[in-house]
Amino acid sequence: MNTFLSRNRLIVLAYIGMLLLVLITAFFSPGFLSASNLRSTFILASFVGIVALGQTFVIIGGGIDLSIPWVLNSAAVLMTLLCAGQDLPLIWVVPLLLAGGGLIGLLNGAGVALLGVPPIIMTLAANVILQGLILVFTGGTPTPAAPDMIKFLSVGRISGIPVIALIWTALTVLAWLLLSKSAFGRHLYAVGTNVTVARYSGVPTTRTTILTYVISGMTAALGGILLTGYSGVAYLGMGDSYLFTTVAAVAIGGAPILGGSGHYIGTVAGALVLTILTGLLPALNLSSGALLVVYGAVILLTVSIGSETFSEMWASASNRRKRIKEGTENG
Amino acid sequence: MNSSSKQLQSAQSMNMQSRLLAHAPFLVACSMLVVIVAIYGSLQTGVFTIDEINLNTAAAMTLMLAATGQTIVLLRGGIDLSIGGMISLGTVIAATRFGDDPANILLWSGIILAIGFGIGALTGLLISVLRLQPFLVTLAGWSILNGIALMILPTDGGKVPEWWIGSGYLEFLGLGTPVWILLALIVFWCWFRATRLCTIIKATGSSEKSAFLSGVSITRINIITYGLSGFFAALASLYLTTQIGGGSPNIGTDYILPSVAAAIIGGVSLFGGRGHLFGTIVGAYILTLIGNLVFVLRVSSYWQPVMSGVILLLAVLASSYAEQKARKRGS
Amino acid sequence: MDIVQVKGLTKRFGGIVALDGADFSARLGEVHALLGENGAGKSTFIQILSGALNHDGGDILVDGQDYRPVNPDEALGRGIAAVFQELSLVPDLSVEQNIWFRREPRTWLRTVDVSQMRQQTLELFERYHFPSIATTREVRNLTLAERQIVEVAKGLAKNPRILILDEATSALPASEATWLLSLARQLADEGRLVIFISHRMGEVRAIADRVSVFRNGSTVATHDAAAVSDDQIVTEMIGRQLARLYPERMDTATDRVALQVRDFSSPPMLNGVNFDLREGEVLGVGGLQGHGQREMFQSLFGADKALGSVTLWGKPVCFDTPRQALSGSEGIALVPEDRRGQGLLLTKSVRENLSLPVIRRFSHLGLLNQRKEAELVRETMKSLSIKADTPEQIAGTLSGGNQQKVIFGKMLMTQARVLLLYDPTRGVDVGTKGEIFQLMRQLASEGYAILFYSSDLPELVNVADRVMVLRSGRVARMLEGDDITEEEILRAAVFDSEAA
């Protein structure tokens, strides 16, 4: 664990920042620490956190997934359409939609890993194509309300604890096991650090890359399904903000956009920070515009702290990093 | 006989094919445009009139201007997502500050353009000094600028004077304002592409290390390229106000990814160093005309994003195919 | 009066001392050769001289005035230009655009005057008898040798008084190398100073007026080239007699064929290679650079595609990916050419690097047994005496030699018993070189079969049991026993059928 902390200083910083933010918020709006408020904060953060899980895996692997918004929208709309407000069809609808999200991810991953299409372009194209297809398919008409079961999963509680927080916790444990305790995790970090070295070390690079996009497609679909339970209905555009928030959560959680390091544990903090900020600003009487400014500033701040320039300043005491950069280059 | 001139001649014929390959992405884009115009023209009368050209150019102009800046940044090997925020900010500043006095409007137009260049330059400086990834920095920049726009004007509104709107629809020699802007852009690019600066920008995008070893100041190039990107985004916002007649604090977001897509479709490389504005202009026309195509084909307008996504993928695959071919030839 | 005078130059990278009080002096009109082992400080020295790096201490005088350039432009302002081995060309620009980069002639519109630029290029090419290269080709489409020539042109285009050539001949075929040598001579005769770095003693002898020898970051001596013997220079470079660098030869090869390769080809670089590698044998691979060695190693490992039949321990195999090559006991492992780009995850720990190829082996029910991993990693580190503080040390912070040992360790942790070693001692200090050779012999005696390419002829001569010389993608000769000499290898590598 010690190595985990020393290697992931940025994650520690993200949690420290989150705690400071909690204190500030509690100071400005004393009601913030009430059980009901904490609960609703957790519920909101869960959606960001769950959708950002896949984004974290993709970014660690050196890619990015811009198709999240419409995978999320599609899953939400199709779920309500196919279930028509009934619980029973969920038995097959949910697995089907998760598989569908996975399939989109598979196509994204194949385009990136097999055809060499840049991730930004591949997932952007997937996003707009999916957007059009789902609009054609549904005709843009409103859809039935979410089934009660989904509502329970999104906003229900089991002995006071939101169900979705439990789902999120389970997914976090799963993500931690995958990243820190499995061969796949090692392969993923290797691919994100240097795909050629990974390939020369016998890592199944293509499969690993594709898997990250599959995971991202599945978590986006799951997020869409759960989000309908929160809003009660599915509407097109409900996923639009998730592109920004997932990337922001990953960035605030300390993962470099170029891949190779970072951890979902950091993204969890990122999701919480973003959600708490959303709650803090009304308390300060600030507009939604101010919220965007603060979001941008926080991202800028975290990437600056994580930048090479800063870490070199940090490391100059121990003189280690510099040796990596230059020492071996000029023997 | 000087042997060098002989070798030049033989080389030129040998070069023909590899040159064709080098321009393949642009040629593919041109043929796609021709096909789209042909289909459009066969189903709709009066497509090849000056009026129609004026109309479509007007529809494409905001995207073209935004994509011009994006093209410059892409050539340098970067990406600028903040243009979305800058366009929004430009329209709301114009809508709230212009008033009726032409002198005042001129002043504020200048201020908007200066803000565009200044913020872009600051972005470039930040990227260089802190050695940050442009994707995240400009994402944060988008958020901040969009937030400021929302703080100035929370909803669509404000207004610009009638004559300013009218200036977007003037005609001279039968050609409308947007066509003259387009011609100006083409003249600008014919000049710009032949300057040392453009060579240096492309070189930096092609290989930052080589450029640095050849004495290029990367910081200076970042300031210039992101500054120009901000400048063109501001220009796009000024043009946009003639189209929407006021300010719109979120409108710029609609131009971020299309500006990248237009450039990529036109054969600009996402990895820097290759491409030109003519390709981007073709790409912007393609993205705009797809809307008309959907209309004359009498299919749901929802097919528009599907088509643009497919065209984007086709363009990328065509260029990566051409590149592979060229590489094989090279080795 | 010498134009360049350097006294007590020092340069540090983090904790590593690259230059430690180097002295140097050279005059216009001479070709001044720099010699020294890899890591002796030559390249740091010329990078400082050309403005790519700043020095920490010591003085440089150019024309008797203090010289401390902050960038290559400033160095050029004082008349110094360098042709780096690490090419500074931009792949997406044409030959002429590269040559005149940032110095293009301009029209009144401030645009580049293309016809003028072309004229200047042709004049330059003619004046210095350049080999033919089309000036409008994009550099990305040029061969390595052509790029090197363009790089030389770029340096000359700056019309420097002092031109630094950093191993400029190493990528060139014989005729172009000869041209470059005469060019260096011509430049010196024009009254310029040419600082010439080469590992080829013959070239140095052919053109250098004086020779400076670097060792461990400082200059050992400067000689008139005519008045010094090869032996003396080598002794000065190494700092001691070449005592126990190479291990004692033992014949551990058995009759069992480990790797049988037939009609192995991947045109245009590989054109039908045939050989047998036996258990316990170290089979050397020689030849001039770019005659198919790289392609052969890559393809055998599954990193590139090739046709032909490959038989491993009697079974036909066909590897499409390195992953297939590394899996199982009938596999092939590669210590790749590019340590930093292909061999190591520089930002990850020694442990993560070592266990990467075999990480699945520690996986139980989907979870890693990290204790078992740590144990095996520790064992490997110990048996290869990898000098790291802990297994958690970041691989990029290790010395070059230790990095190479980690790569060996990675490959030894797999069960593959056929090892492909591509120039494993490049950029490795002498001490570690000895250890690597020792290790190779030991592995051979344990039954490994080793295919060993080296760009350094003495290594092949002293370590390999047999040496196969590649030429134009074919085995030109298989040398055995007393035939394995530097001369024979070179002869087989150089004299093609037309010349013979």
pLDDT in tens, A210-221: 999 999 999 999
Q: Is residue B328 in some structural domain?
A: no
Residue window 197-216, chain A: list those with CB within 8 Å of chain C: 197-204
Q: Which of residues 235-274 of A touch B (CB under 8 A)?
A: 244, 247-248, 251, 256-258
B12 in a domain, yes or no?
no
Residues of B in contact with C71 (CB under 8 A): 215, 217
**Calpha distance C58→C47 (Å, rounded):** 15
Which residue among B7, B203, B209 sits closest to C134, beta carbon to beta carbon? B7
> From residue A32, how far is each of A40, A45, A162 by CA, in Å?
10, 15, 17
Q: Is B196 on the interface with C (CB under 8 A)?
A: yes
Chain mean pLDDT for chain B? 88
Return the residue of C nearest to B15 by Cα.
Answer: C137
Flag if B18 and C138 touch (Cβ within 8 Å): yes
Contacts of C253 (CB under 8 A, 6+ apart): C278, C279, C280, C281, C444, C465
| Beta-carbon separation of C356 and A190 below 8 A | yes
pLDDT at A102 over 80: yes
> Among A76, A74, A77, which residue's Cα sits nearest to residue A128?
A74
Phi-psi region of B51 (alpha: psi -120 to 50; beta: other; left: phi over 0): alpha
Residue range A146-168, pLDDT digits in tens: 888 888 888 888 888 899 999 99
Is residue B258 in a domain? yes
Chains in touch with C (3+ beta-carbon pairs under 8 Å) read A, B
**What is residue C457's three-state secondary structure?**
helix
Whether residue C111 has pLDDT greater than 60? yes
Note the pLDDT of residue C80. 92
* Cβ distance of A199 and C340 shorter than 8 Å: no
Within 10 angstroms of residue C395's Cβ, the number of other Cβ atoms is 26
Q: Which chain A residues touch C391 with a CB distance below 8 Å?
A: none
Residues of B numbered 171-230 whose beta carbons fall under 8 angstroms of chain A's beta carbons: which are they? none
How far apart (Å, rounded) are the C-alpha atoms in residues C161 and C75?
Answer: 11
Q: Where are the beta strands (DSSP E) in chain B?
A: 171-172, 175-176
Cβ contact, residue pair C104, B11, below 8 Å:
no
Q: In terms of pLDDT, which residue wins out, C351 or A6?
A: C351
Indicate if the pLDDT at residue A25 is higher than 90.
no
The residues that bridge with C214 in the sheet, in sequence order, are C219
Q: Across-strand partners of C224?
A: C210
Q: What is the pLDDT of residues C382-428, one digit of tens each?
A: 988 888 888 888 888 887 778 889 999 999 999 899 999 998 887 67
Q: Does B154 touch chain A (CB under 8 A)?
A: yes
Partner-chain contact A121 B312, CB within 8 Å: yes
The secondary structure element, H or E, covering residue C310 is: strand C307-312
pLDDT digits (tens, 9 = 90+) for C291-316: 888 899 999 999 988 899 999 998 99
C227 — pLDDT class (breaks 50, 70, 90): confident
Q: CA of C52 to nearest chain A CA: how many angstroms apart?
A: 12
Q: Which residue has the higher pLDDT, B330 or B149?
A: B149
Does pLDDT of A138 surpass 80? yes
Instruction: Give CA–CA dist C336/C356, Å, rounded.
Output: 15
- Reply yes or no on whether the pLDDT at C457 is more than 90: no
What is the assigned CATH class of domain C257-494? alpha beta
pLDDT of residue C39: 66
Percent of chain C with pLDDT over 90: 38
CB contact under 8 A, C18 and A190: no
Of B2, B15, B22, the CB nearest to C126: B2
Q: Does residue B129 sit within a domain?
A: yes
Percentage of chain C beyond pLDDT 70 is 95
Q: Which of C113, C429, C490 is nearest to C287 (CA)?
A: C490
Extract the tokens encoding A262: 């970072």
Q: How far is the C-alpha of C389 from the C-alpha of C182, rounded, in Å? A: 50
What is the reported pLDDT for C495? 64
Instruction: Determine the pLDDT at residue B102.
Output: 87
Q: Nearest residue on chain C to B330, judged by CA atoms?
A: C141
Nearest partner of C475 among C492, C461, C495, C451, judged by Cα: C492
Task: Give me the pLDDT at residue A213, please.
Answer: 97
Separation in Å, CA of B177 to nearest CA in chain A: 31
* Whole-angstrom distance, CA of residue C436 vs CA of residue C407: 12
User: Are C102 and B4 a contacting pair at CB < 8 A?
Assistant: no
pLDDT tens, residue by residue, B206-265: 999 889 888 888 999 999 999 999 999 999 999 999 999 888 999 999 999 999 999 999
pLDDT tens digits for C27-78? 999 999 988 776 678 888 988 998 888 888 889 999 889 999 888 888 988 9
Tokens 């970041």 map to which residue?
Answer: C394
Confidence tier at A327 by pLDDT (50, 70, 90):
very low
Instruction: Please check whether residue C305 touches A, CB under 8 A.
Output: no
Q: Between residues 250 and 279 of chain C, which touch chain A (CB distance below 8 Å)?
A: none
Please report, for chain C, the start and end positions of each structural domain, with discontinuous segments joined by +: 4-238, 257-494
- How many whole angstroms separate alpha carbon A92 and alpha carbon A89? 6
Residue C301 burial (C-beta neighbours within 10 Å; 0-12, 13-18, 19+): buried
Q: What is the CATH number of the domain that holds B181?
A: 1.10.3470
Q: Are A297 and B144 in contact (CB under 8 A)?
A: yes
Q: Cβ–Cβ of A260/C356 closer than 8 Å?
A: no
**CA distances (Å), origin B322, targets A125, B19, B33:** 20, 11, 19
Q: Mean pLDDT throughout A52-64?
A: 96
Give the H/E segment covering residue C43.
helix C42-49
Instruction: Write down the pLDDT at residue C419.
Output: 93
Between chains, do A307 and B131 touch, taking CB under 8 Å as contact?
A: yes
- Residue B3 belongs to a domain: no
* Domains: count for chain B: 1
Least CB–CB distance from A295: residue in B136, B143, B271: B143
Contact B199 C71 (CB under 8 A): no
Distance CA C489, CA C479 (A): 8
Cβ of B306 within 8 Å of Cβ of A307? The answer is no
Query: What are B77-113's pLDDT values in tens digits?
Result: 999 999 999 999 999 999 998 888 888 999 999 999 9
- Domains, chain A: 33-307 (1.10.3470)
Q: What is the pLDDT of residue C254?
A: 87
Using CA atoms, how far apart are residues A88 and A91, in angstroms rounded to an integer?
A: 6
Dump pLDDT digits (tens) for C323-375.
Answer: 999 987 788 999 998 888 899 999 899 999 999 999 988 988 888 888 999 99
pLDDT of residue B10: 46
Residue A9 near chain C (CB below 8 Å): no
Q: Distance (Å, rounded) from C-alpha A63 to C-alpha A209?
A: 8
Instruction: Find the closest chain B residue to C99 by CA distance.
Output: B214
In a domain, B172, yes or no: yes
Which residue in the set B195, B216, B329 is minimally distant from C112, CB to CB? B195
Specify the pLDDT at position C350. 93
Domain around B307: 26-321
C322 interfacial to chain A (CB closer than 8 Å) = yes
pLDDT tens per residue across span A243-299: 999 999 999 998 888 889 999 999 999 999 999 988 888 778 888 888 889 999 999
> Within 10 Å of residue A15's Cβ, how many Cβ atoms?
17
Spatial contact of A239 and A68, defined as CB atoms under 8 Å apart = yes
pLDDT at C102 over 80: yes
Residue B160 vs residue A331, higher pLDDT: B160
CB C408 within 8 A of CB C335: yes
Percent of chain B residues past pLDDT 90, beyond the cut: 56
- Output the pLDDT for position C38: 64
pLDDT tens string B50-71: 888 888 999 999 999 999 999 9
Residue B4 lies in a domain: no
* B243-262 residues touching C, CB cutoff 8 A: none
Structure tokens at C395: 């691989």
| Out of A244, A258, A290, closest to residue B151 by CB | A290
Nearest to C428 by CA among C465, C454, C451: C454
Q: Which residues of C touch B211 (CB under 8 A)?
A: 90
Least CB-CB distance to A132: which of B149, B249, B306? B306
Whether residue C438 is predicted with pLDDT greater than 80 in this model: the reply is yes
In angstroms, what CA-CA distances link B218 with B66, B176, C450? 23, 40, 46
- Match domain C4-238 to its CATH number in 3.40.50.10420, 3.40.190.10, 3.40.50.300, 1.10.357.10: 3.40.50.300
Distance from CA of B81 to the nearest CA of A (A): 11
Pairing of strands C65-66, C474-480: unpaired
Which residues of chain A does B304 touch, with a Cβ-Cβ cutoff of 8 Å? 132
Q: Do B147 and A132 touch (CB under 8 A)?
A: no
* Residue B16: pLDDT band with limits 50, 70, 90: low
Burial class (CB in 10 A: 0-12, 13-18, 19+), A317: exposed
Question: Which of A34-48, A202-216, C212-226 shows the highest mean pLDDT?
Answer: A202-216
The closest of C426, C286, C431, C254 to C343, measured between CA atoms, is: C426
- For residue B254, what is the nearest residue in chain A, using CA coordinates? A240
Q: Does A294 touch chain B (CB under 8 A)?
A: yes
Are A201 and C355 in contact (CB < 8 Å)? no
State phi, psi for B245 to the nearest 5 degrees.
70, 10
Residue C16 has pLDDT above 60, yes or no: yes
State the count of interchain CB pairs (< 8 A) between A and B. 144
User: Would the pTM count as exceeding 0.80?
Assistant: yes
> Which of the residues B302, B303, B310 would you substitute to probe the A interface, choosing the one with the greatest number of A C-beta atoms within 10 Å?
B302
Question: Concatenated DSSP letters for C361-405?
Answer: GGEETTEE-HHHHHHHHHHHHHHTT---SSTTSBGGGS-HHHHHH
B149 touches chain A (CB under 8 A): yes
Residue C234 pLDDT level (bands cut at 50, 70, 90): confident
Is A128 in contact with B306 (Cβ distance < 8 A)? Answer: yes
Looking at residue C214, what is its pLDDT?
86
Average pLDDT, chain C: 86
Confirm whether C4-238 and C257-494 share one CATH topology.
yes
